[in-house]
Homo-oligomer: A and B are copies of this chain.
Amino acid sequence: MPEIRQNLATKEWVIISTERAKRPEEFKQEKIKKDIPEKSDKCPFCPGNEDKTPYETFVIKDEKGKWKIRSIPNKYPALVSEGTLERVNDGIKRCVSGVGICEVIIESPIHNTTIPLMPEYDVEQILQAYKNRYLCVSKDSRIKLIIIFKNHGELAGASIEHPHSQIIGSPVVPFHVRYRLEEAMRYYDETGECVFCKMLKEELKAKERIVVETGSFVSFVPYAALSPFHIWILPRRHMSSFSEINDLELNDLAKNLKTTLAKLYFGLDNPDYNYVIRSSPVDDIENEYYHWYVAIVPKVIRTAGFEMGSGMSINTAYPEESAKFLRSITTR
């Protein structure tokens, strides 16, 4: 019989489907293998084409003075950086002016690389860039929430194949984020404990859903994973915002993120995926109830009317089997 599992922190329900269950190998991405070149003249993110992108907001260079990582304003931003925050409340018309920060972090000068194939130190530098941009964007008083995310591959919504991530500063805290904070606060008020710390403790005890353990981080397939190979990477130390990460932890996250993504890369033939770093709103980066984390969602299934109507997901892979499979994948 299928199980309907609930995530203790987010309160989301998921049907772990037995009738439609597949083996881990069956989720391998069937995509046409393209021979992606190391450098593309047409790519706006490749070295030599810097004039095709806006000015740099941040750069990390190598010992020869060439850039390794660049951060630039998004040329087609969802939110614009200039303007004041105005609010309208007029009957059903409720709106806020679309001001905000949208930046792109170009992760490497190499067109055809990806985090699992990069040296660990380079991954650490990407994370340093994330932290720098987070801290800088958070100084803008219009910004209430900062989201760092990555779209890898076409199914995940990437329009440019050159490795890059994005950072968005939003002038509102969306409802979706607000209710998670409220649930975490309620759990804290009832138990005196952070619900994410609790989950981490129990996942470490159960062991069966753990993917990669490093000094400061743990990646695992949550008990109520919403889709096959849905992974959370949680810091062992309680922190509400990614901006609170220290240098040692940054180094360790590079190790954990690279290894976790490499297990997906080698285990499922480089699947398309999204990842998101979820933090507390910028005005509340130090609290006892919310815990920041990285959520990784490989795009190996398609959702339909059922999910839209119910807000419940259908996961056709057992979280325990997904985790076991990923543990078995060697990444070198």
The chain A residues found within 8 Å of chain B, CB to CB, are 1-6, 8, 10-13, 15-20, 76-80, 83, 91-99, 145, 147-151, 156-158, 166, 168, 170-172, 174-177, 179, 198-199, 202-203, 223-224, 274-278, 295, 297, 302-306, 308-312, 314
Contacts and interface: CB of A to CB of B under 8 A. Distances in A.
20 contacts: A1-B97, A1-B98, A3-B98, A4-B97, A5-B94, A8-B92, A17-B98, A19-B76, A91-B202, A92-B202, A92-B223, A93-B223, A147-B306, A147-B309, A148-B309, A149-B305, A150-B305, A151-B304, A166-B306, A277-B309
Contacts of A97: 1-4
A207 B2 CA distance: 47
Contacts of A274: 304-305, 308
B304 A157 contact: yes
B310 A99 contact: no
How many copies of this kind of chain does the complex include?
2
Contact of A79 (B2, B147, B151): B2
Nearest to A97: B1
Given A78-B2, A98-B4, A179-B179, A199 B306 contact: no
A76 B306 contact: no
B306 A8 contact: no
Given A13-B175, A92-B199, A98-B1, A19 B80 contact: yes
Given A1-B97, A179-B179, A276-B308, 9 more contacts: A2-B80, A2-B97, A3-B96, A4-B98, A12-B175, A92-B202, A145-B310, A168-B309, A170-B312
A298 to B, nearest CB: 12
Contacts of A93: 5, 223
Contacts of A78: 2, 15, 17, 19-20, 306, 314
A2 B168 CA distance: 15
A5 B95 contact: yes
Contacts of A312: 170, 172, 174, 176
B95 A4 contact: yes
B1 A302 contact: no
Contact of A310 (B18, B19, B176): B176
A202 B93 CA distance: 9
A315 to B, nearest CB: 10
B20 A174 contact: no
Given A13-B172, A19-B78, A179-B179, A308 B149 contact: yes
Given A12-B175, A177-B311, A202-B91, A76 B166 contact: no
